Amino acid sequence: MKIDGITGRIPTLLVEQFGLFREGLRHILADTPYEIQKETESLESALALIKDGFAPRLLLLDIHEHGDQEFDSIRRLRADLPHLRIVVLTNKVSTRTLAKALDAGVDAYLLKDMSPEALIQSLTLALLGEKVFPTNLAQILIQGGFAGEYGSSSSSACGGLSEREVQILRCLVNGDPNKIIADRLHITESTVKVHLKGILRKINAGNRTQAAIWAVGQGIEKYPMAF
């Protein structure tokens, strides 16, 4: 199987403090394109492995609320290894860690209780360059109270968006990848990408995840949506 130009299995580094979960994940990924070649109990140990020459294509890790050190490490990894995909696997969604993880540049933020099939699909989307986050992101953001943290502009900013752009923003809030958005709106993926570029420029967002968070802050998820 070939994913994002890679033929063969994807070299994967797992950072997880609990051995039982590491063993379970190895079993789940055994017959998939993802091969756990190295595993550690901490991000610090993972950084040491990478410094010693190990070059993973995918990093799976849990994030613990130990200050901002982990997020700073993620930013360094993102800068030093631009082709590395970083996927957070966690037991719960903390609004604080979710916001900081997305801001640090993680490619996916996933819950450990998801099905193996959903996990593998999410990893594949991340490898293909999609941002993957909880499907109930809107509810999480609203409850967490940081919806307006990213991007942004005035409360009247939605007036500068077309109806199609608002529809696409609502799809982003749902966590839909470009292909799903294209199918739902009956347009091509290329057209979706063009609209996304325009949206990011208009709302001053750096990526689709920030755009989704901005959309929730503006209440766009409550707009009527006609397809």
Say if CB 203 and CB 220 are below 8 A apart. Answer: no
The pLDDT of residue 101 is 81
The pLDDT of residue 54 is 94
Residue 227 in any domain: the answer is: no
Rounded CA gap, 3 and 178, in Å? 17
Residue 206 in any domain: the answer is: yes
Domain boundary among 134, 156, 181: 134
What radius of gyration, in Å, describes the C-alpha atoms of the chain? 18
Residue 226 in any domain: the answer is: no
Domain boundary among 134, 162, 188: 134
**Domain co-membership, 83 together with 21:** yes
Residue 159 in any domain: the answer is: yes
Query: pLDDT digits over 58-72, tens only?
Result: 999 988 755 678 888
Bigger pLDDT: 176 or 22? 22
The pLDDT of residue 136 is 60
Residue 80 in any domain: the answer is: yes
Over residues 64-82, mean pLDDT: 82
Q: Token pair of 150, please?
A: 């990213």
The pLDDT of residue 223 is 45
**Domain co-membership, 14 together with 90:** yes
**Domain co-membership, 127 together with 191:** no
**Domain co-membership, 113 together with 152:** no
Query: pLDDT digits over 22-72, tens only?
Result: 999 999 999 999 999 999 998 989 999 999 999 999 999 988 755 678 888
**Buried/exposed 98-122: b ≥16 CB within 10 Å, e otherwise:** bbbbbbbbbbbbbbeeeeeeebbeb
Task: Please determine, for residue 144, whether its predicted confidence score (pLDDT) is greater than 70.
Answer: no
The pLDDT of residue 154 is 36
Residue 139 in any domain: the answer is: no
**Residue-wise DSSP of the chain:** -EETTEESPEEEEEE-S-HHHHHHHHHHHTTSSEEEEEEESSHHHHHHHHHTT---SEEEE----STTHHHHHHHHHHHH-TT-EEEEEESS--HHHHHHHHHHT-SEEEETTS-HHHHHHHHHHHHTT--B--TTHHHHHHHHT-GGGSS---TTGGGGS-HHHHHHHHHHHTT--HHHHHHHHTS-HHHHHHHHHHHHHHHT-SSHHHHHHHHHHTTGGGS----
**Domain co-membership, 49 together with 116:** yes
What is the average pLDDT value for the chain, to the nearest integer? Answer: 81
Query: pLDDT digits over 94-136, tens only?
Result: 767 777 787 788 889 888 888 899 899 989 989 988 878 776 6
**Domain co-membership, 15 together with 123:** yes
**Domain co-membership, 64 together with 129:** yes
Residue 111 belongs to what domain range? 2-134
**Domain co-membership, 92 together with 203:** no
Bigger pLDDT: 177 or 151? 177
Indicate whether this model's pTM tops 0.75.
Answer: no
* % of the chain residues with pLDDT over 90: 37
